[in-house]
């Protein structure tokens, strides 16, 4: 039994049957009722030698993390909260940062396909509907070497539950489906397709760039960026550098950024 009929629990056996098959990329899918952080669970598994393709989802995270040390909190069973283990050992380490751009593309593509919601990606790793945040990605490198990809995607978050006015969910956007299992499976399928193509090309950014330009909410926009040291700069987000950094055209000239908190500025 579950208390909220609009928020049924995920079924690990059902998801495994859909996604873990001979020849498929995903090797194991676990669903936890509650954990502090799915990224922490997968990172520990990676350190213990778990193979690529492990996925851990959670109905609730008590200490979910976002970028720049922020927290990510949602009501239980209202979101897709999961982490995946990737081991792109055949890819040059200099190209690993592109993973942080590939993953939100996969999330946006999945949302557009099964939810019929016009999701876009905001550099470096958010998924938006217009200027409302639908999903966030946290990518961490761990010993192995390995990458742990954390995804938090709001599905049935209600207006009264929004942690911030700019947050949104598939339900609030009138998505064609708010079934979390369907959304989770779609995200993993889109992610495996893009990831495997990227690895096969030795991390070549050209496997990502055309779609990134198509679905970017940031490129071509006037932006204000808060840098890690607390300073700000303003300019136009022109393009991505060869290493995935965002190039901002400022009055002082182009500035490539490896990290920062971007705000899209509206004309007028």
Contact 148, 52 (CB under 8 A): no
**Distances in whole angstroms, Cα of residue 24 to Cα of each of 20, 134, 136, 262:** 6, 28, 25, 36
Taking the C-alpha atoms of residue 264 and residue 268, their distance in angstroms, rounded to an integer, is 13
- What pLDDT is recorded for position 68? 47
Mind listing the pLDDT tens digit of every residue in the chain (268 residues)? 345 657 999 999 999 999 999 999 999 999 999 999 999 999 999 999 999 999 999 999 986 555 445 555 789 999 999 999 999 999 999 999 999 999 999 999 999 999 999 999 999 999 999 999 999 999 999 988 999 999 999 999 999 999 999 999 999 999 999 999 999 999 999 999 999 999 999 999 999 999 999 999 999 999 999 999 999 999 999 999 999 999 999 999 999 999 999 999 975 4
- What pLDDT is recorded for position 61? 93
pTM: 0.94
């Amino acid at each position: 039994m579950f208390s909220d009929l609009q928020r049924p629990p995920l079924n690990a056996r059902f998801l495994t049957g859909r996604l873990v098959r001979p020849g498929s990329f995903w090797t194991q899918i676990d669903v936890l009722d509650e954990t502090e952080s799915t990224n922490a669970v997968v990172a520990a598994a990676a350190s213990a030698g778990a193979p690529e393709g492990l996925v851990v989802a959670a109905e609730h995270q008590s200490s979910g993390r976002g970028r720049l040390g922020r927290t990510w909190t949602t009501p239980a069973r209202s979101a897709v909260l999961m982490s995946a283990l990737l081991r792109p050992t055949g890819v040059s380490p200099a190209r690993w940062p592109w993973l942080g751009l590939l993953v939100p593309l996969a999330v946006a593509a999945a949302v557009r396909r099964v939810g019929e919601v016009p999701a876009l990606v905001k550099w470096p790793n958010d998924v938006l509907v217009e200027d409302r945040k639908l999903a966030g990605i946290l990518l961490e490198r761990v010993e192995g070497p390995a990458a742990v990809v954390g995804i938090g995607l709001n599905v049935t978050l209600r207006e009264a539950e929004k942690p911030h006015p700019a947050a949104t969910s598939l339900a609030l956007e009138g998505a064609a489906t708010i079934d979390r299992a369907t959304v989770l499976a779609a995200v993993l399928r889109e992610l495996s397709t893009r990831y495997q193509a990227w690895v096969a090309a030795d991390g070549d950014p050209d496997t990502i760039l055309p779609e990134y330009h198509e679905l970017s909410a940031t490129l071509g926009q006037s932006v204000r960026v808060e840098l890690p040291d607390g300073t700000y700069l303003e300019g136009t987000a022109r393009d991505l550098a060869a290493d995935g950094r965002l190039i901002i055209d400022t009055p002082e000239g182009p500035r490539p950024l490896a990290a920062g908190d971007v705000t899209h500025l509206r004309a007028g």
